[in-house]
Amino acid sequence: MSSRCIFSEDLTGHAPSGDVLTHCRRELMHAIWCLLLDDEFLEAYEHGIVVECQDGVFRRFYPRIFTYSADYPEKVLLATIRNLGKAPCPRCYIRKEDIPDLGTVRDENKRKNLARTDDHMHNGVLPRIRDWIYRTGRSVKSTTFDFWLLARSWTPTSNAFSDRLSKFGFDPFKMLVPDFMHEFELGVFKSFFMHLLRILHAHGENAVQNLNQRFRWVPTFGRSTVRRFVQNTSRLKKMAAWNYQCILVCLLPVIEGLLPDAHNDEMMDVVFSLAEWHTLGKLKMHTDTSVGWLRTATKELGRMLRRFQRVVCPYYDTRELPSEQAARGRRQAKKASQGKGKAPSMVVRASAKKKEYSMETYKMHGLGDYAPAIPWVGTSNSWSTQPGELEHRRVKAYYARTNKNQAVRQISKLERRETALLRMAARARSKAQRLGGTKSTPVAQGYRKQAKNTQTYLSFAESEALPYTIPSQHHHISSSRNNSIHLSSWLKQHKGDPATKNFLSKLQEHLLARLAHPDWTGDGDEFTDAQRYQLQLRNSRMYVHKILRVNHTTYDVRLGQDVLNPRTHSDIMISHPFSYPQVLGIFHADDVNTAPGSTSSASSQSMDFLWVRRYRLDTSWRAGFKRKRLYRLEFLPDSDPQAFGFLNPDKVIRGSHLIPAFAHGKTGDRLVGDSIGRLPRDGLSSDEDWRYYYVNFFVDRDMYMRYRGGGVGHYRLEIPVEEDIPGAEQAADDEGDGETPEEPVPSTSESRSDQLPDPVNLTHRPDSPMSTHSSSSGLPSDKSDLESEPGSDDEGGAGGDMDGGFGPEDGDGDVEDEVEEGYAPL
C-alpha cells in the first residue's frame, strides 16, 4: 500500500477520495514553489544581489516577479481558487452572472472594488480549516468549509507566494496577467465562430459550403500573416491560435450575405468589433491614445456581443456541429468502456443537442483587464504565453515522422539525430572559416533571352538572383537580365488588348517625367509625341523580374518588409489612404535619351518601373471605423485612360491586402475579354473580375495604425475625418450603462478587508447594479444557498460537450470531475 493510502487509512479509515487527491495536487504545486522561494531567494529579494557587470562595475540587483503568464487551469492553481467556481476570476470576486456586463461602468467598478486579497490566509481562517483537514480528517469539500470558502471560490490550499512574499507587500493575484492567446483567440473568438457556424447550419441554403469556398478564395498576405485556407474551415480540424487569427482578420468579406439582411448587418458589426479589439490588444507599442482606444473597443465589444446574444441568437435553433456531436459520442463510449457511464450496449447515437451562446465565461471577463494591465506591465506580447506554446510545433513535427508506436522513444532519437547533424554543420562552417572563409558561388547570368511565355511575370519555378536587401534601401529589384520581353514583338502580339493601349507612349511619358523631375511624376500628358520618341529603350527590351522587396517603417519604429509579386501578392498602397494599384509586372529597362542637351548621366541609365492596373474607391459605399465596415474598391473600367499605367517603385508605401467582395459576385465589364492585364485568380475565369474588393486594414497591426493614425513610426498624415452616424449616441445598451468609464479612482487608505464582499452577500446577486457588499460576518439565513449547486464548479458533471480544446471555461458544456481540475496538458 502506498504512503498516501496509509496516511488516509490511519486518519479517516478509508482510501483517499478524488477530492483528496485533487487537493494533494494543489498542495504539491505550492510546495514546489516554496522550495524555489527559499530563504536565500528572500534574502536577495529584500537586500539584493551584488553582481560584477561586464564593465567591471559592481551593481546591486533586486529580483522581482512582475508577471506570471499562464493559461486558466494554471492560474487557478496559482491563485488557490476553484476551477470555474462561483467567482471564477483569479484577480477579482466578480460572479459568473455579472460577466456579461463587460465594458460597462458597473463592470469597471466591480473589478476595482472586488479585487482579490489574501486576507483569509492570514486572519486565521485558512490555518484553522487546514488544521481540521489534516488533524481530524474532515472532508476537503465539507459544507462547513464552504461557508468561508465557496462564495469566493477559495480552496483550502496554502499559497506559496502569499506565505513567502506577503511581508514585502507582494500581491500574488496582480501578477496573474491575462493570457491573450488562450483567452481571446482560442477562447472568446473561437466560441463566437463556432456559434456562427451553428447559426449557418441552422439557416441552411448552403451557407456553410459557401463559407468554406470563400475562405479558399481569400488571397494570402505577407510571409505568414494570412496563409492559404486549404481545407474546409468549418470543420475546425487541427487548428491552432494563428488559424483563428487568420479567420478573424478575413471573416468580414466571407460572411457578408450569408444570412438575411437584418442579421447580416448585426453579425458584421460584431465581427468588426472583434477584429478591432484583437488588433488593439496585440499592439506592440502603445500610447495613452491607443490605450484609450482599447478601453472604448472593450466597451463596444461588450455591447455588440450582448446585442448579438439578445437579437440574433434567439432567432435560430442552434444545435451541435457534426464534429461536436461525434466528439460527444466518442466521450460517452470511452466512459462506458471505463465503467463510468452507461454500458457500451446502451450507448446509442443521440440527436444533436441544443447549443446556446454564453457570455458567462472567465475568458470573456478577462477582456476587461487588458486596458488596465498594459500601462502597468507593458504590451501584451511581453507577457503572452504564445512563445512557449510555439515549442509544441517542434514536438508535433517529430511525432509526424514516427510510426506512432512508442512515439516518445522515436521522438528522442530524432531529436538527438538532429542535434548531432547541427553540430557537424557547425564544425564544418568553423573549419571553412579557418581555411580562409567561404566563397560565394557566382550566379550564372547566361545569355539574354526572351521569356518563354509572353506573361509580364515569372512563374514560381523560375530562379532569379536577388541578394540581401539592406535596410536603408526603400525597394530592391534584381538586376538580372535573364528574362526579357522584346517590346515591339510583344505589343504586336497583344494588339487590340485594352490593357496595352498606348502602352509605349505611357511608358515613355513615365520615364521622361522621372528623368525631368525625379522627385515626382507627371500627370500623364506633360510631353509631346516628338519628345516621347526621343526616349528609346536599348535593344527595345524590358527585363522581367520575379519579386519586388519594399522596406517600410512600422508603427512601432521597426523595419518591415513586404515581398511583392504579380502572382500572389500584387496589391499595393501608394498614396495613403485611398490609392491602390495592382502590380501586373515588375521591370527594368535601359533608357537612352536622344534629346538635345541631355546630360551624360541621364542619357543612358537603367530604370525600374511597375506596370499596374488601378483601383478606385467606391464612393457609394459608406465605410470606416464608426460604421464598422471595410473600405470598398473596384477596378477602373478599361475605357478610363488611367486604368493602366506605370509607377515608380519609390512611390510604393507597402503591400495591401484586398479581399474580394464575394457577396457582390463577378463581372466582366471592367475589362472586356481575355486580357494580358487580368491576373489569374482563384474563383475567376480568364474574362472575369470580382465586382468589388475590400481593403483589409485588420490584416496586421501596422496596417491598422496607418488607417487609424497615431503610429509612432509613421509619417504624420491627414486621416479623413469620418462623419458621425445619426443616432449613434443612442446606441447604448438597454440597461442604460453605456457611458465611457471615468479614470480610475485612487484607492483609499482603508483596509482592503473592508472592501471585501461578505460570503452571505456574494451568494446573491445585488438588486442594484452599484450595490456595495457588507463586510460583516453574519451567518447565512439559508445554508443551502452556500452549498454546491448541481452541475456547478464543484460537482462532478456528466462531462463537457467539447471538441478538441474547447472547454467549459469557454461557456460550452459542464465541468468535469474535480479529480482533473486545474491541470493542463504540458
Domain boundaries, the chain: 180-390, 391-432, 475-708
Measured CA distances, 785 to 143, 216, 758, 764 (Å) = 11, 52, 14, 8
* Nearest in space to 182 (alpha carbons), one of 806, 811, 686: 806
pLDDT for position 394? 82
Q: Residue 748 is placed in which grid cell?
A: 483609499
- Higher-pLDDT residue of 340 and 181 is 181
Residue 345: predicted pLDDT: 53
Neighbours of 618 (CB within 10 A): 18
The pLDDT of 35-54, averaged and rounded, is 94
Indicate the DSSP class of residue 183: I
Closest CA to 521 of 509, 532, 513, 512: 513
Give the rounded distance of the alpha carbon of 269 from its chain centre: 18
**C-alpha cell at position 22:** 485533487
Phi–psi pair at 718, nearest 5 degrees: -80, 115
Cβ-proximal residues to 572 (8 Å cutoff; 6+ apart), any chain = 550, 564, 580, 581, 582, 583, 612, 652, 653, 654, 655, 656
* Residue among 472, 434, 499 at smallest CA distance from 673: 499
Once rounded to an integer, what is the mean pLDDT over residues 763-786?
33
- Give per-residue pLDDT as tens, 482-504: 889 999 999 999 999 999 999 99
Neighbours of 405 (CB within 10 A): 7
**Residue with the three cell numbers 568553423:** 430
- Angle subtended by helix axes 392-400 and 407-434, to nearest 10: 110
Pick the closest to residue 145 from 758, 788, 754 (CA basis).
788
- The pLDDT, as a whole number, for residue 195 is 95
pTM: 0.83
Backbone angles phi, psi at 548, to 5 degrees: -130, 125
Mean pLDDT of the residues in the chain: 82
The grid coordinates of residue 459 equal 512563374
332-352: pLDDT as tens digits: 888 888 776 665 555 556 688
Compute φ and ψ for 246, nearest 5 degrees: -60, -40
Give me the pLDDT at residue 200, please.
Answer: 95
189 and 277 Cβ atoms separated by less than 8 Å: no
Tell which wins on pLDDT, 536 or 303: 303
Position 715 pLDDT exceeds 50: yes
Determine the average pLDDT of the residues in 42-62.
94
